[in-house]
């Protein structure tokens, strides 16, 4: 139990979007003051817009990418505003959840 007290609560946003739009998401994250993110390219899946192939051999842009970012709540809120806007005409999804980190200075 005590371990939890040493952790800091933060928000995590996971965005799944076409590889083409990854640069746009990256600039949103940077503008919002996020200090870093993790990107996984070539993710596959099935959903609202049908089937999506996973990694393609010679096309890093066409398949879906997932971008994961952890930041204080206010910054994630900023990111949400932008990503929501971005998704008005691009398909993709994002998930926001609470998370805990042990070294908050990494994320601020």
Q: Would you tell me which residues interact with other proteins (CB under 8 A)?
A: 18, 20-21, 23-24, 27-28, 31-33, 49-53, 56-63, 74-75, 77-79, 81-86, 88-91
Residues 6 or more apart whose CB falls under 8 angstroms from that of 28 comprise 79, 82, 83, 86
- Of 11 and 28, the one with the shorter C-beta distance to other proteins is 28
- Of 7 and 49, the one with the shorter C-beta distance to other proteins is 49
Residues 6 or more apart whose CB falls under 8 angstroms from that of 47 comprise 93
Q: Are 68 and 12 in contact (CB under 8 A)?
A: yes
User: Measured from the CB of residue 43, what is the shortest distance to other proteins in angstroms?
Assistant: 13
């Amino acid at each position: 139990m005590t371990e939890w007290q040493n952790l800091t609560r933060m928000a995590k946003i996971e965005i799944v979007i076409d590889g083409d739009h990854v640069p746009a998401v990256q600039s949103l994250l940077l503008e919002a003051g996020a200090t870093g993110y993790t990107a996984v390219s070539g993710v596959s899946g099935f959903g609202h817009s049908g089937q999506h192939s996973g990694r393609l051999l010679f096309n890093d842009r066409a398949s879906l990418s997932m971008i994961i970012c952890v930041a204080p709540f206010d910054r994630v809120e900023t990111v949400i505003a932008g990503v929501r806007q971005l998704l008005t005409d691009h398909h993709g999804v994002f998930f926001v959840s609470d998370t805990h980190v042990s070294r908050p200075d990494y994320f601020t």
